[in-house]
C-alpha cells in the first residue's frame, strides 16, 4: 500500500507540473499580438464586429496587407505565419463596455479581442489572443480617443484544445492501469 500511495503522489505531482499557468499580459496597439486595424468599425453591432474580425482573418490567411471591404478599410499588422499558417474564423463571444480595460481570457478559450476606439474618429484594433490566458490589459485610449467597448471571439467550428486535457487523461488511464496491475499482483501473492 505504501508503493501505491507513493505512486499516486508522484502521478499527482506530474499532472500539476503539466497544468497551464495563467498570466497577466499588457496588450498595446501595434504590438506582437496585434492582428490588425479596422478603420472605423461602424456600425458596431455584434454581427458587424464578427464580420470585421473575419475580414482580417481572411486577409491573414490570404496574405493581404491592406484591403477595403463593405465600407471598411483594413490593415494587417502581424501577417502570416506570425500566429500559425492559418487562423480560424471568429465566433462572437462576449462584449465589454468602455470601462473594461482588464479582460479575463480564462484558460485560453478565446482567439480574438476586438477593441473599438471613439466611434468614427479613430478605429478598431484586433488582437490575436489564442496563445494567451489569464488577464489581459488593453489601452484605454488610442491617439487620445477613448475605448468605447470591446469583444472577445472564440475560434469557429471547434472547441479550443491545447492538448493538456488529452495528456492528463492519458496519464490518468496509465495510472489506473498500473494500480490495477499492482493490486492484482498483490492479491496473487
In a domain, 183, yes or no: no
pLDDT digit string, tens, across residues 102-135: 999 999 899 999 999 997 889 999 999 999 999 9
> Domain total for the chain?
1
In a domain, 19, yes or no: no
11 falls in which pLDDT band (50, 70, 90)?
low
In a domain, 132, yes or no: yes
Higher pLDDT, 50 or 185: 50
168: pLDDT strictly greater than 80 = no
In a domain, 176, yes or no: no
Residue 93 — φ and ψ, nearest 5°? -115, -75
Mean pLDDT of 50-69: 97
In a domain, 177, yes or no: no
C-alpha dist (Å) from residue 40 to 29, 68, 73, 111, 118? 15, 11, 7, 21, 9
Per-residue pLDDT, 162: 42
Whether 76 contacts 66, CB under 8 Å: yes
Q: In the structure grid, which three cell numbers stand for residue 73, read together?
A: 478599410
Percent of the chain clearing pLDDT 90 (strictly above): 65
Per-residue pLDDT, 179: 63
Higher pLDDT, 127 or 163: 127
Q: Which parts of the chain fold into alpha helices (H)? A: 2-17, 46-62, 164-188
In a domain, 2, yes or no: no
In a domain, 39, yes or no: yes
In a domain, 123, yes or no: yes
Q: 91 is in which domain, residue-wise?
A: 25-155
Amino acid at each position: 500500500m505504501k508503493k501505491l500511495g507513493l505512486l499516486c503522489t508522484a502521478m499527482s505531482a506530474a499532472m500539476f507540473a503539466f497544468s497551464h499557468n495563467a498570466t497577466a499580459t499588457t496588450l498595446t496597439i501595434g504590438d506582437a499580438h496585434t492582428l490588425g486595424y479596422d478603420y472605423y468599425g461602424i456600425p458596431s453591432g455584434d454581427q458587424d464586429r464578427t464580420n470585421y474580425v473575419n475580414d482580417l482573418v481572411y486577409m491573414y490567411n490570404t496574405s493581404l496587407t491592406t484591403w477595403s471591404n463593405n465600407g471598411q478599410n483594413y490593415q494587417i499588422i502581424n501577417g502570416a505565419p506570425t500566429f500559425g499558417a492559418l487562423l480560424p474564423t471568429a465566433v462572437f463571444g462576449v462584449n465589454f463596455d468602455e470601462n473594461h480595460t482588464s479582460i479575463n481570457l480564462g484558460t485560453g478559450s478565446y482567439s480574438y479581442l476586438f477593441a473599438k476606439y471613439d466611434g468614427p474618429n479613430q478605429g478598431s484594433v484586433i488582437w490575436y489572443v489564442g496563445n494567451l490566458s489569464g488577464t489581459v490589459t488593453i489601452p484605454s485610449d488610442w491617439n487620445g480617443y477613448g475605448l468605447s467597448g470591446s469583444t472577445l471571439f472564440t475560434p469557429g467550428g471547434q472547441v479550443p484544445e491545447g492538448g493538456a486535457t488529452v495528456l492528463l487523461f492519458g496519464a490518468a488511464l496509465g495510472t489506473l492501469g498500473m494500480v490495477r496491475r499492482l493490486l492484482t499482483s498483490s492479491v496473487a501473492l
